[in-house]
Amino acid sequence: MARDDADAGVHVSGAHVWVRDSRVDSGWTAGEVLELLDEGKKLRVKLEDESGHRDGEVVEKIAEECALHNPGRNVEDMTRLSYLHEPGVLHNLHDRYRADDIYTYTGSILIAVNPFQKLPHLYGKPMMEMYRGTPIGDLSPHVYAVADASYKAMRTDQGKSQSILVSGESGAGKTETAKLIMNYFAFMGGRTDDDRYVEKQVLESNPLLEAFGNAKTVRNDNSSRFGKYIQIQFDVHGRISGAAIKTYLLERSRVVNINDPERNYHVFYQLCAGASEEEKINLNLKPAQEYRYLNSSRCFDLDGVDNAEEYRRTRRAMDVVGISKEEQDNVFRIAAAILHLGNCTFAGEDEAVLMDQNAEEHLQSAAALLGVNANALNKALTTRTIQTLEGSITSPLSPNSAAEGRDSLAKTLYSKLFDWLVAHINRSIGQDESAASHIGVLDIYGFESFKSNDFEQFCINFANEKLQQHFNEHVFKMEQQEYQAEQINWSYIDFVDNQDVLDLIERRPFGILDIIDEQCRFPSATHEELALKMYSTLKEDNDPTKRFSKPKRGQYAFTIRHYAGDVTYEANNFLDKNKDFVVVEHQNLLSNADQPLTRELFPIEDPTFSPNKKGSRAAYKFSSVGTRFKEQLHDLMAALATTEPWYVRCIKPNAHASPGAFERGSVLHQLRCGGVLEAVRISLAGFPTRRGYGEFLDRFGLFSSPPWASAKFTRIDDMRAATEELLEVAGVKGYELGVSKVFLRAGEMAKLDKKRRVLLDKAATRIQSYAKRYLVRSEFLRVREATIVIQAYTRGFIARREFEYRRREKASIVLQKEFRRWLARRKFLRIRQATISAQSYYRGKMARKRAMALKYEKSAIIIQSSWRKYRLQSDFRKNRRAAVAIQCAWRVRVAKRELRHRRMKAREAATLLRDKAVLEEKFAHATATLEKVKNQRDELRRDFKEYKVLLENVKDDLASESERRKCLEKDLSSFNATIERLKAELLEEQEGRAADCEALNASLAELCRRRDEREAELLSDLEASTNRISELQADLHREVQLKEAAQLSEAEAHASYEARAAEVILLQKRLDETPTQRDPLSTVDETRLSQNRNVGDTARHQAEADVKLKRMQLERQNEDMDSLLKVLAMPTGEIGFSPDGIPGIAVVTFASLAEWKAFEAERTHTFDRIMSAYARAVEKANSEDDDATLAYWLSSHASLLSILPSTLP
């Protein structure tokens, strides 16, 4: 682009310039000229960073590559910039954006920069009132000013229709700007006496079209995926009388294919989230994540957007635009049917069939919602009928072809539904055929260039090429109109015409659209053939403008040089996306649907179209999307040609939608794409700098002597003559004088500014010299006058000081006298007060000392008594623990000695065989009793409650038993005396009973032998049972570990524990059910009693004494047993574990059994009661869900079972 400071010599030292810098995205960096080199052809420049602080880097640049800074602050109209160039335009926009001035003029073009935040002070009715009727330019730039100017031009310029073209890239704020424009027109032309409320319907059509035509893209959360031209019609009184909406190029492919993190059209997510429960049942709706057309992207919700609320808002908009409740339901039925169609997946090798039951269910739902038969829909999706001369042929489709047909049907349904909505809105709003004029608002997509560009980008850029041509012609026309209005001499201005690009795209034949349509007519054509066709037809040799080229990368890609830059398109999907066809099967099926809206979308075709006529083989009707879009563009351009255009260029300041961020490179690219810089270039080609005569004289009047100012002149002709004289004095050649302005060629303003800067520098130097002389003399006079004043004040001060000294001397004598008297009295008072205080303190101290001594004595007595008590208690506990330890050690030693003795007897080999047989019998018996134990477990639980009642009774019996024990102790003393007497009598009778003793000895020997054999048998059985108990304990331990590792549920852990505990109890009962052998000693006693029953009263008395003695021992053992059971009933926290880690309850139980010599006797009821107590404790902990207590009792149970086998032979 040409620059207005192209000539060398316009730069001076200290001037601020823009330097070309490839290191920054905008291409320009600010700097300050330090020195001119090579007669001004080169400059030494100190660069500055973005914040304006010099970073100190000094570079040498060619003067032609440095553009001068614009003086002063930012301007509202960039055509008023002194230096109109790229960095000046960009810097002006940035300055205004930082001040929240988002609107800027460039001639008749309004540039709107998206703030990405709410600016409520810029909008609303007060602002509309402010701009109402105000000429454009009198107030700050605003979209309301453009809307008001177009409305006023329509009303005053013989009713000529107007148009406002809003463009920009996705996310730049086009849709919001169009809404603001329509709000202003509704404000200006609204009426309250019309029942239709046309303006309200026009405004409410926006959210409805946004729901069905907008989607989230990478750049924008609410991107319009279609172009929209709203024609607002006015009557002769300037009131809105009607409106019409026309849409362009809806992105159909988005319905069936989206990329992450984009979204499909908003209506699908609104329907899934906002439909009522009844609607979800009727439509068989599921969450959006379950639909294939929606879940190919992970984005389902937008920040700050409630899909359910948006759904209700869409429903309200439908009500406003006149869509009935039944029609609304039908619209959403078709939208839901499209979602269900997407989940109809196909499988198979050659013939397509539904993949699974889920696909069949979705097919049924889609058919029901569309009002067609499910089997007929399935057939239409999986087969094709081709008409031949012999008749019709139905052939199955492959899964891929069926999927393509399904997606084609979904796209056609959605496209026709969208067109139906637009048509219904137009019918509802109503067009005024007798309208005096209209204003059109075009909200259309801006120029797009991505890493991968497809058919949609090709059509969008084609539309922008058309609009750019219209824009260039309009800007050129406006430039000419201003020159004519100012009556200046001007020559033809050349501007870039993009007609060659349009010819490349739309010419016939051999245009790109023509080549695409030609290839689409061949059913077997591929994108490779399309690319080769374009390469051969449009190669650079046949394209003198070099607009078409083949890129180095991309096998099937092509590049077009657009006005905004080169764009490379991928031809892979061009053929598929250009085909807009309705399959005959689909058309016939849906045109006869039960659902009225479906029939309306697919009306019965005109008889002239018959794909089944003679010789026809077509199974579908082809229509070119590109050709239809070209025709729509021609209609749009024809409509715009009849109107007076106004342009609004929306700019997206950054790619992250962040408030305050301004990416210069991105903004500069959008300015190029929006044609703003082209408008600047056209302006530079003529007279880019324009100043009113008054403004010019005020700035450059200093060239004359004396300087002139605009206030000196009253007539415009005088100002014009003075301006011409100034230009002659300054040596400016490229200028023209208009009626009210002076027009300067590019570079002339820089020369004037340089000359003005030199004059100002000389004047500043002279002013500085006079100012410095004045300052020095003024300082001398001020110092001299100050010196005289200081001397006078000094003399007076010395005299006053002498007088004051003498007065003070006399007064000091009086003061000293009074002060000495005061000091003496104060000293006396202080001594007296100190004496009183000391006496009081001493008396209090002695009293406190006596009280403290008494307190210490009392405390010492208390401490001594507590210490003596503690020492005696400690000694008692220590002695008790030592006694218990000695007793335990002795009992262990005796038990081990007995164990070794019994193990020696059990090693005989003969007993092993008998043990094996016995164990086999017991195993069979245990298996048989297993089921019995399971049944008994429930009975035991019931007995447990009864035991609690018995326990209370037993406690009552204990009191009576204690009394009986005292009586038995008295009887024991008498029995002992009787025993001594009987022993003496027995000694006398022993000599006479020698023969009887020998017989008894023989019998005793036989009984001992039988006892040893039975003990060996029981020991082997006990050892096997002990091993099984050890295995069960290991299993229980593993169960606990598995419970902790896998975090089993409480019910599973309880079941596992009951199973293992039942097995342990079963084995224990096996031990208990072993036939009990009586003690040989007691047997001997009974034998002796039986043999000597008739010996005499003496023997009978001795036998009765022995029986009573054993009964007393048994009662004592039961009392000890009750004490042990009380210990078992104590809380677990009061018992704890032994120093070796063994649970304390197990240690107490084992010590008690050893004390009672329970291991030496045969099976007794002792073990049954202990095991029952353990089982009750485990069951109680389990029922109370106390895991800590349950673990304690389980470990106690396992420890006791592991200790018991070691005490048995």
**Active-site position among 88, 107, 171, 342:** 171
> Is 448 annotated in the active site?
yes
Rounded Cα–Cα distance for residues 318 and 325 (Å): 9
Token pair listed for 507: 């010419």
> Is 220 annotated in the active site?
yes
Spatial contact of 1033 and 1068, defined as CB atoms under 8 Å apart: no
> Is 168 annotated in the active site?
no
> Which residues have C-beta within 8 Å of that of residue 266, sequence separation ≥ 6?
210, 211, 212, 214, 215, 222, 307, 310
Rounded Cα–Cα distance for residues 330 and 310 (Å): 19
Long-range CB contacts (within 8 A, 24+) of 786-789: none
Q: At what angle do helices 499-506 and 512-520 cross, to 10 degrees?
A: 10
Rounded Cα–Cα distance for residues 85 and 677 (Å): 8
Token pair listed for 532: 């080769």
> Is 511 annotated in the active site?
no
> Is 572 annotated in the active site?
no
**Active-site position among 223, 464, 1020, 1092:** 223
Rounded Cα–Cα distance for residues 490 and 482 (Å): 11
Q: Where are the beta strands (DSSP E) in 979-1074?
A: none
- Cα separations in angstroms, 109 against 163, 647, 877, 957: 13, 5, 104, 112
Rounded Cα–Cα distance for residues 231 and 591 (Å): 32
Cα atoms in the 13 Å half-sphere on the side-chain side of 30: 16
Give 36's strand partners: 43
> Is 170 annotated in the active site?
yes
> Is 224 annotated in the active site?
yes
Rounded Cα–Cα distance for residues 437 and 649 (Å): 24
**Residue carrying structure tokens 């959403």:** 332
**Residue carrying structure tokens 């100050």:** 786
Count of C-beta atoms within a 10 Å radius of residue 1200 = 21
Spatial contact of 648 and 175, defined as CB atoms under 8 Å apart: no
**Active-site position among 48, 86, 310, 448:** 448
Give the DSSP per-residue string, 172-202: SSHHHHHHHHHHHHHHHH--SS-TT-HHHHH
Cis status of the peptide bond prior to 1139, with omega within 30 of 0: no
Checking DSSP bridges between strand 66-68 and strand 16-20, what pairing results, if any? Answer: antiparallel
Token pair listed for 444: 């259309």
**Active-site position among 108, 114, 150, 175:** 175
**Active-site position among 140, 170, 1087, 1098:** 170
* Residue 68 DSSP SS3: strand
Q: Compute the radius of gyration of the chain from its Cα atoms.
A: 56
Rounded Cα–Cα distance for residues 364 and 343 (Å): 11
**Active-site position among 31, 213, 227, 446:** 446
> Which residues have C-beta within 8 Å of that of residue 1032, sequence separation ≥ 6?
1060, 1063, 1064, 1067
**Active-site position among 183, 220, 314, 578:** 220
* Residue 607 DSSP SS3: coil
Query: Phi/psi at 369 (nearest 5 deg)?
Result: -70, -35
> Which residues have C-beta within 8 Å of that of residue 9, sequence separation ≥ 6?
40, 63, 751, 754
Residue 977 host element (H or E): helix 909-990
Residue 926 host element (H or E): helix 909-990
**Active-site position among 224, 241, 330, 426:** 224
Count of C-beta atoms within a 10 Å radius of residue 430 = 16
Rounded Cα–Cα distance for residues 493 and 268 (Å): 52
How many residues are there in the chain?
A: 1209
- Cα separations in angstroms, 134 against 149, 178, 234, 643, 644: 8, 20, 20, 22, 19
Nearest to 210 by CA among 28, 418, 36, 14: 418
- Classify burial at 910, counting beta carbons within 10 Å of its beta carbon; exposed 0-12, middle 13-18, buried 19 or more: exposed
Rounded Cα–Cα distance for residues 160 and 182 (Å): 19
Active site residues: 170-171, 175, 220, 223-224, 446, 448
